[in-house]
Amino acid sequence: MMTQSPSSLKTFINCPALYKARYIDKIIKFTGNAATERGELIHKRMEELCLGSALSPDWGTNGDGAKLYGQNFINEVLKIGSLREKGVKIYVERQIAINAKGEIVDWWDKSAILRSRIDLFIDMEYAGAVIDWKTGRTPGDPLQLLINAMCLYPLNPKTRYDGYFVYLDQAKVDSSTMIFDTAPLNSENGKVLELRLWLEKLERAYAENTFPATANNDCRWCDLRSNCDSRS
Ligand code: SF4
């Protein structure tokens, strides 16, 4: 079974048939579009800002001079930069993979079961803050923050992680808290149990080669839609 990322697992949860087409048969290839290009640019700028880069005059605009986000939001992010000056540990753009024992392994290691990219992690002694920058309006999935925290745990073990989706265009934040009574993969935390259940279902799907089409809210965007009798 391939290593799962938050997006691959979410795809399986929504529709196993789409998961198979995208990640096993690879008949759907995502080549990017203007929105993903913009998203990448904004993530790069956020990374620079959190690392303490000075703001250039065009910092809040793209190459064409269009505004990326408002001054209010920039002010908020500058506060993150100031945490670094106060000695708080800040990590940007971390990529972490873990194996079934919850140990860190190489990103491409075959034993990796989960891997995730973490936009920003702030180590605040009493808790860890996991921050994901969102461009566009699509709501973030708490499953992503959970996998982020599980991958961070071996490097920065915490009992509590606070996860934040920061919607840059709307200057809006969604948050959730994750509590781990023990190492996350062995945790009895309800969200972890649910995630383990999905990983087991996925393993069974691979073993039985059974990936049923399951109608969901994203059917209207699905590349398989025209040939799918199960679509909503
Ligand atoms: S149209 Fe909907 S049900 Fe059909 S494969 Fe796509 S996501 Fe699954």
SS3 15: coil
Substitution site in 28, 220, 230, 232 for ligand 1 pocket (most atoms within 8 Å of beta carbon): 230
H helices present in 5-164, as ranges:
6-14, 16-19, 34-50, 71-85, 142-152
Residue 175 CA to ligand 1 centre (angstroms): 29
Instruction: Name the band, by pLDDT with cuts 50, 70 and 90, for residue 29.
Output: confident
Give the number of the atom of ligand 1 that is nearest the alpha carbon of residue 214: 3
Whole-number pLDDT of residue 107 = 96
Integer angstrom CA distances of residue 164 from 37, 58, 111, 136, 189: 22, 27, 29, 15, 19
pLDDT at 214: 96
- Predicted confidence at residue 152, as pLDDT, reads 95
Q: Could you tell me which residue, 45 or 179, shows the higher pLDDT?
A: 179
Q: Residue 10 CB: number of other CB atoms within 10 A?
A: 17
Q: Tell me, what's the pLDDT at 54?
A: 65
- Percent of the chain's residues with pLDDT above 90: 48
Nearest residue to 163 via CA among 181, 184, 149, 182: 149
Which pLDDT value is given to residue 34?
83
Which of these, 115, 174, 166, 138, lies nearest to 35 by C-alpha position? 138
Question: Could you state, in order of their start, the residue ranges of all structural domains in the chain?
Answer: 89-187
Specify whether the CB–CB gap between 199 and 3 falls below 8 A. no
Degrees to nearest 5, angle at CA 142 with 147 and 18: 80
Cross-strand bridge partners of residue 120: 92, 131
**How does pLDDT run across 165-184, given as a tens digit for each residue?**
988 777 678 888 998 878 88
56: pLDDT strictly greater than 90: no
How far is Cα 92 from Cα 65, in angstroms, rounded to an integer? 26
Task: Give the tens place of pLDDT for each residue, 78-135.
Answer: 677 677 777 788 899 999 999 999 999 999 999 999 999 999 998 887 889 999 988 8
Where is average pLDDT lowest: 47-51, 73-77, 119-123, 194-198? 73-77
Between the CA of 115 and the centroid of ligand 1 the distance, in Å, is 25
Query: How many percent of the chain have pLDDT more than 70?
Result: 88
Q: Residue 11: what pLDDT?
A: 95
Give bridge partners of residue 155 from the DSSP assignment: none
Element holding 116 (H helix, E strand): strand 112-123
Q: Determine how β-strand 104-105 pairs with β-strand 89-99.
A: antiparallel
Please check the confidence at residue 72 and state whether its pLDDT lies above 70. no
Annotate 82-102 with DSSP letters as a single string.
HHHHTT-EEEEEEEEEEETTS
- Cα-to-centroid distance, 125 and ligand 1 (Å): 44
Does residue 215 register a pLDDT over 90? yes
pLDDT tier for residue 35 given thresholds of 50, 70 and 90: confident
Q: What's the average model confidence in pLDDT over 33-54?
A: 81
CATH value of 89-187 in 3.90.320.10, 3.40.50.300, 3.30.300.20, 3.40.190.10? 3.90.320.10
Task: Provide the 8-state DSSP code for 223.
Answer: T
Please report the pLDDT score of residue 37 as a whole number: 85
Q: Under DSSP, is residue 59 helix (H, G, I), strand (E, B) or coil? A: coil
Q: Please, which pLDDT band fits residue 57 given cuts at 50, 70 and 90?
A: low
Ligand 1 centroid distance, CA of 2 (Å): 21
Torsion of CA 89, 125, 129, 202, to 10 degrees: 110
Beta bridge partners of 25: none
pLDDT class of 64 with cuts at 50, 70, 90: low
What value does the mean pLDDT take over residues 125-149? Answer: 89
The first and second tokens of residue 80, run together, are 């993150």
